[in-house]
Structure 1
């Protein structure tokens, strides 16, 4: 499969969406950017490739915010994680019949262990005992590889216990793409339904980190890596140029024509908003909840996904962990970092 074809489908779908939630140029001239991720499936009944889920975003909420939110606030709003949650919503509403190969496009390498070589240095935030920890905050101790990391963030930001996208994608090679409630829904509706695993990860650059980072914990269904030369227009200009230069240095076949410009980091900033899309839903997320409301949870939040599954199965466990107890398995070496249980 050609990575450009997958990327084109996702970017084309993103371009067709309304502008609300997309990066913009602020009144002070600062240009916003984001990361885009989308899931493309091969429909075995039509023999066509279809983009069925999409997400954008670069934010994660602090542990202090989500520790008592009862599943109503999205902990992790990084693009690839939102795309996977949107894919789960798609499966709840459409089932998994006729789904063949599954591709995940990301407009930048996943944060964490799979992209540490992009740092070329970093911030050594902590000393002493932290050197021995198996869980490292963000980009601290950037030269330590093969460890679980939390989402990146400034050293003065509130701590998030959401693990990096590298770690979460690595886990999906063992647990599959379906969330615990959706696994439970499948087991009720189609007892012998197979787990859904990712066929390939599509990215603008395939880093040497990928093989090391994604083969931890002896994955049951390892995915492939496909490179694309298609440029996502809403991304970080500095990253786009960096990826193009890396391809050129590696003598990779690239059709990307870029004119590097003098980039001023002060004039760019990550977008604070995220978009979640499926063929039946579109939602803009701010601070982990649906934009425009202080209380409305996202359609892909844990509480909403659980509500949909309870409604579809007429099964109502008292706690969210009731779903997990029937569908979870953790590989050796995985670290649970957040108490995410709540009453339904």
Structure 2
């Protein structure tokens, strides 16, 4: 037993078991010339009841990948192409896709069961306690094992999902809060990676691997670049260069002859997740950034951990670059009680022996072995835990390793499609456009003021979001529904992704998150944004259909009788 029974090993082996079940096309290959591909692997595992007899582990997302796009390619993406295909970043995007699907399934399930009756039956019970039973509620379906609706008890007009208003007025119900979802309270997020995150956390490892560890010449500072009118991208250091400069934001590593990228290193992006949580922009509009929405543990092979590098890149101690954020929170009681904070994760390790047993696609340590990073990336997510009565039998017949999503990505698009192709079919399910589209589908299922109250009693403005929150007792009682209404309005009026972000901030739905992220970037000092892929709308997902004549409508020439062809004969 020993280490094989540890939580760290069980989490790592669970991630690897899902990778092993992927199709061959999603795995590294050995080329005819003997060159062997290697690839990093990352996975997100949800641990419920950690350290208790009821402890459960569920891998909800895995990804592989080691590529990213150059800065000149970003304006061509139009929301359909992934900028950053490093395993850690794809795994986080996959987790957010899975979480949004879990939210959608939850709303569909609540619409299927008798929502009013179940809410009244459970009004005296604690939300967490009642939701801990995955088979709770009426009907034969199952409720989410991971996501809960945020509900509050009060005597209000009916606020049911789907807008049913048959309940008696002022009946005792549970009011839906904003954000409408949260992760269950006894859940912790573990992230497992087979190699150290690129960037600041791995600089000591990079130095140790160099034949010549002599520091490079120090480039001009970001201040000098800005004052001289130079390219601000010059303030971003190369991913593996300038070893003597530590604790700074770096770009993704690449070949020396490759065009530069503005994608930040995985160390920097993971550091930012310690402030904004693991929730992406779209997911944060629906799911509350509770303390357990942050990474709890980052699990790495022991030989991929530099204690000094990790403490500097992620830690809050004396050497941590994020030390100034210790104890800091960003909140606004008028915005759904949303609070962000600096919540550093803990680094856990797995022995080299167990890592080698589990992973055969790591970068060879023997330099005599010809190898290169694989071009293909893989994305996988688990099926939803929410099963309606109509899908229970079908889902029970599925293999437990079968996922909801399984994609192979090359150059930011799905395998079989070209980067320059205008077809939306190339877009991954975790692309910006597809995530926005899924958000729109979910928002349609949420209640609105018009379905819950007298529309004439509340004035809203879709363009300027002029509704006052907390201005009176009535508006305060309806503030959460007002935010839900604002979210619906934003989705309806935003013509571009850039407008979606701006409108969400203006409405107060993402302003706190933006403030936290801005403070982080300003503190780090040389964070250069990778902009240029914001001026598109959901119309990019509508493929132009070229109508082809139906085969039956085509007139096939018939053989002409000889007597008609030659009437003179």
TM bin, normalised by shorter chain, reads 0.7 to 0.9
| TM-score, normalization by structure 1 | 0.85
What is the aligned counterpart of 1:222 among 344, 359, 362? 344
Distance 2:55 2:249 in 1: 38
TM-superposed CA distance for 1:318, in Å, is: 2.3
What is the aligned counterpart of 2:93 among 85, 93, 108? 85
Is the 8 Å Cα contact of residues 216 and 244 (structure 2) preserved in structure 1? no
Give the secondary-structure state (helix, strand or coil) at the position aligned to 1:136: coil
What is the aligned counterpart of 2:496 among 315, 319, 334? 319
Over aligned residues, Cα RMSD in angstroms?
A: 2.3
What is the aligned counterpart of 1:291 among 415, 420, 439? 415
TM-superposed CA distance for 1:281, in Å, is: 0.5
Residue matched to 1:207: 306
Distance 2:76 2:206 in 1: 34
Residue matched to 1:243: none
Distance 1:58 1:164 in 2: 11
Residue matched to 1:8: 13
Residue 115 (structure 1) aligned with residue 202 (structure 2): yes
Query: Residues 342, 123 of structure 1: CA spacing in aligned structure 2 closer, same or farther, 3 A cutoff?
Result: farther
Q: Deviations over 1:146-203 (max 9, x none)?
A: 00000001121011100000000000000000110111133xxxxx563610000000
Distance 2:530 2:23 in 1: 35
Is the 8 Å Cα contact of residues 39 and 104 (structure 1) preserved in structure 2? yes
Q: Deviations over 1:47-74 (max 9, x none)?
A: 4111000000110111111123212111
TM-superposed CA distance for 1:94, in Å, is: 0.8
Is the 8 Å Cα contact of residues 262 and 528 (structure 2) preserved in structure 1? no
Residue matched to 1:252: none
Distance 1:63 1:126 in 2: 24
What is the aligned counterpart of 1:169 among 253, 266, 270? 270
Structure number with the higher helix fraction is: 2
Alignment of 1:183-202 (within 5 A): 183-186=284-287, 194=290, 196-202=293-299
Residue matched to 1:41: 46
| TM-score, normalization by structure 2 | 0.52
Distance 2:205 2:219 in 1: 25
Is the 8 Å Cα contact of residues 123 and 139 (structure 1) preserved in structure 2? no
Residue 273 (structure 1) aligned with residue 376 (structure 2): yes
Give the secondary-structure state (helix, strand or coil) at the position aligned to 2:523: coil
Alignment of 1:90-105 (within 5 A): 90-95=98-103, 96-97=147-148, 98=184, 100-105=187-192
Structure 1: gaps spanning 5 or more residues = 187-191, 239-261
Between the two proteins, the alignment pairs up a number of residues equal to 315
| Range with bigger deviation, 48-57 or 117-126 | 117-126
Residue 22 (structure 1) aligned with residue 19 (structure 2): no
Query: Residues 105, 333 of structure 1: CA spacing in aligned structure 2 closer, same or farther, 3 A cutoff?
Result: same
Residue matched to 2:536: 343
Residue 142 (structure 1) aligned with residue 266 (structure 2): no
Is the 8 Å Cα contact of residues 204 and 227 (structure 1) preserved in structure 2? yes
Residue 236 (structure 1) aligned with residue 358 (structure 2): no
Is the 8 Å Cα contact of residues 279 and 289 (structure 2) preserved in structure 1? no
TM-superposed CA distance for 1:213, in Å, is: 0.6
Distance 2:372 2:64 in 1: 15
Is the 8 Å Cα contact of residues 275 and 283 (structure 1) preserved in structure 2? yes
Residue 68 (structure 1) aligned with residue 76 (structure 2): yes
Query: Residues 129, 193 of structure 1: CA spacing in aligned structure 2 closer, same or farther, 3 A cutoff?
Result: closer
Q: List structure 1 segments (4+ residues) > 6 angstroms apart after TM superposition.
A: 123-126
TM-superposed CA distance for 1:43, in Å, is: 3.6
Distance 1:212 1:106 in 2: 19
